[in-house]
Amino acid sequence: MNGLRPLTAQVGAETYMTLRRGETLLLTVGIPVAFLVFFSTSRVVPTGPGPAVSFFVPGILALAVMSTAMVSLGISTGFERGYGVLKRLGSTPLGRPRLLGAKVTTVFFVEVLQAAVLVPVGYALGWQPGHGHVAAAAFDALAAALLATLAFGGVGLLLAGVLRAEVNLAAANGLYLVLLLLGGMIVPLSKLPGVLAYIARALPAAALSDALHASLGTGDPVPAAAWVTLGAWAVGAPLAAALTFRWE
Amino acid sequence: MSADGISGFDGRGAPVVQCQDLVVRYGPRTAVDHVSFTAARGEVLCILGPNGAGKTSTVECLEGYRRPASGMVRVLGLDPVREHRSLVARIGVMLQRGGVYPMLPPARALRLFASYYADPEDPEELLELVRLRPVARTPWRHLSGGEQARLSLALALVGRPEVLLLDEPTAGVDPEGRLAVREVVRAARERGACVLLTTHELTEAERVADRVLVLSGGAVAALGTPASLTAGPVAEEAVEVAFGGPPGLDLRELELAIGGGTTVTEEEPGRYRVRIALGVATASGSVASAGGHGLAPGALAASVATWLAQRGIAFSELRIGRSLEEAYLEVLRAHGAPGDAEGSDR
């Protein structure tokens, strides 16, 4: 059998469902755009020297990756598990690798869509990327987003694979809120109390926003610590999810 | 238990479902206790039993969802767990509930599932077959219970399965839906598929099953054709006719009218059973003479109908012998079933 046909059909179905879920679009596009516009123009959060938008575009892009890869993927997978969809797919020739491949591809599609909305909004608000080499900065940002997608996807699936769908929904949303505040996405890490900042730096959210603030904001090289943290989560979280995931 | 009840051959070829000494345990509890049966191509096997009898556990072993604690399970000669990938392309599964993306409408769900298989059925034709054309674009979560069940059934059919494993396909389904399910099951059997289905609905089983497997407390309580189960041990000893009518009929008068040895009981209000033990002559001789040899069930039924008609009593469901439901309940009683203990159907 043509191995690609089930995969492309699955990607088509997953994308169709993702784009038709109003709450998902609110979470992945609506809230990030609203945050970007509000915080860039209101100046309620001090972001140091330079235009606020230059801090918030990388931070909100990091938030967008987290919303899609962790919250949206995790919640929908949790409900699919609860509805017996994953169990039923287990007795079709689709197979787990293609199901996972379709989910990852769909997450990347949505992230591209998010960037296609957020970046122009950022430019319209006066965002000016850093002074570094454009190609190198873009490469760093994409690599960081890729690693973060794996890390957040792993965390989302870890919760979805063990918790009841409703509990998973609450847990994913709670984690979203915590990581939003501790992730350097809206509140700069330098403004957090010492211990909290220390903890935050070990989490994937802060590592991603550090990487994006460097590559897309200041134009500085991405700190090595951010790569190490992102890499560790990108390997560890999916592995933990794979080992604990219950299909029914 | 008749010979055809044990083997699944029935002249239709080698068994495609084999279950031998299957044991399934959940912790300390034994859900399936040394169950053995086979089923062949072109055969419909209904698995009956009260809640908790082990029906779903048995079917889920055949689907590869559960690993047996001991015993052997083969579907199409394949081990459902170890050779899962080869097996899933050739079977069609309907879970007891759920199993469909809540947001997907039937047309999209069928097209998606069709893409998984090398030579799928036409999704449009399947929509017609299960009568979901009018709701083809309605998301699954807005469909009625019967429509959801019919979609699950269509999804089980889309890969042209050689073995169909249906877990309670008629639960919560309206009469029209049940008719569709029966048609689909018969059509699958016609083209040579083996169909295994679990159900609580005895009339459904009676209508579609070639053979019936009754599970009770995880063990086999009976296995055979519906005819062999309804005939039961009674056939050699007595002739029975059952009918429905107004409650509180004069049983004694009916007994006298038909003749000696007749016993009439009102089993529940408005449900009557007329029984004549074989080898007992009747006073009127009408029943005994009708068949020329002993008692003819048809003659007894005619006598009962005549008696009722002469008195202007409206009656219904005049039936010779036992229904599958009666046979089933008797099998469970004889097996010492732990009642219809409510619990998950595992």
Contact between chains at B104 and A17 (C-beta distance less than 8 A): yes
The vertex-A204 CA angle with A202 and A209, nearest 5°, equals 105
Contacts of A29 (CB under 8 A, 6+ apart): A64, A113, A114, A117
> Residue type for A167, please?
V
Same domain, residue pair B61 and B155: yes
Q: Which of B178, B200, B230 is the endpoint of a domain?
A: B230
Same domain, residue pair B209 and B126: yes
What pLDDT score does B212 carry? 94
> B60, B115, B167: which to substitute to probe chain A, counting the most A Cβ within 10 Å?
B115
- Which residues make beta-bridge pairs with B251? none
Task: Provide residues of B within 8 Å CB-CB of chain A.
Answer: 63-65, 85, 88-89, 91, 93, 95, 97-104, 108, 111-113, 115-118, 155, 159
DSSP letter string, B144-208 = -HHHHHHHHHHHHHTT--SEEEEESTTTT--HHHHHHHHHHHHHHHHTT-EEEEEES-HHHHHHH
Structure-model confidence comparison of residues B80 and B2, the more confident one: B80
> B86, B116, B148, B151: which to substitute to probe chain A, counting the most A Cβ within 10 Å?
B116
Same domain, residue pair B154 and B273: no
What pLDDT score does B344 carry? 43
A20 CA: distance to closest CA in chain B (Å): 8
Same domain, residue pair B222 and B247: no
Q: Is residue B340 part of a domain?
A: no
Same domain, residue pair B171 and B274: no
How many domains is chain A partitioned into structurally? 1
Q: Is residue B175 part of a domain?
A: yes
Taking the C-alpha atoms of residue B72 and residue B61, their distance in angstroms, rounded to an integer, is 10
Contacts of B291 (CB under 8 A, 6+ apart): B298, B299
Q: Is residue B336 part of a domain?
A: no
Is 90 exceeded by the pLDDT of residue B290? no
Q: Residue B109: which of B156, B70, B69 has the closest Cα?
A: B156
What is the mean predicted confidence (pLDDT) over A134-156?
A: 94
**Chain A residues with CB-CB distance to B89 below 8 A:** 1, 93
Is 60 exceeded by the pLDDT of residue B343? no
What is the mean predicted confidence (pLDDT) over A163-179?
A: 95
Same domain, residue pair B118 and B249: no
Q: Is residue B154 part of a domain?
A: yes
Residue numbers of the domain that contains B174:
3-230
Structure tokens at B315: 């009656």
Report the CATH number at residue B8: 3.40.50.300
pLDDT band at B69 (very low <50, low <70, confident <90, very high): very high
Q: Is residue B189 part of a domain?
A: yes
Task: State whether residue A20 sits within 8 Å of chain B by CB.
Answer: yes
What pLDDT score does B321 carry? 78
Task: State whether residue A79 sits within 8 Å of chain B by CB.
Answer: yes
pTM of the entire predicted model: 0.84
Taking the C-alpha atoms of residue B146 and residue B159, their distance in angstroms, rounded to an integer, is 22
Contact between chains at B101 and A5 (C-beta distance less than 8 A): no
Average pLDDT, chain B: 85
Q: Is residue B287 part of a domain?
A: yes
Q: Residue A161: which of A238, A49, A214, A231 has the closest Cα?
A: A238
Same domain, residue pair B222 and B277: no
What is the mean predicted confidence (pLDDT) over A123-152?
A: 90
How many domains is chain B partitioned into structurally? 2
Structure tokens at A90: 């287990």
Q: Give pLDDT tens digits for B174-183.
A: 888 888 889 9
What pLDDT score does B123 carry? 96
Q: Is residue B291 part of a domain?
A: yes
Contact between chains at B99 and A9 (C-beta distance less than 8 A): no
Residue numbers of the domain that contains A59:
4-244
Contact between chains at B100 and A90 (C-beta distance less than 8 A): no
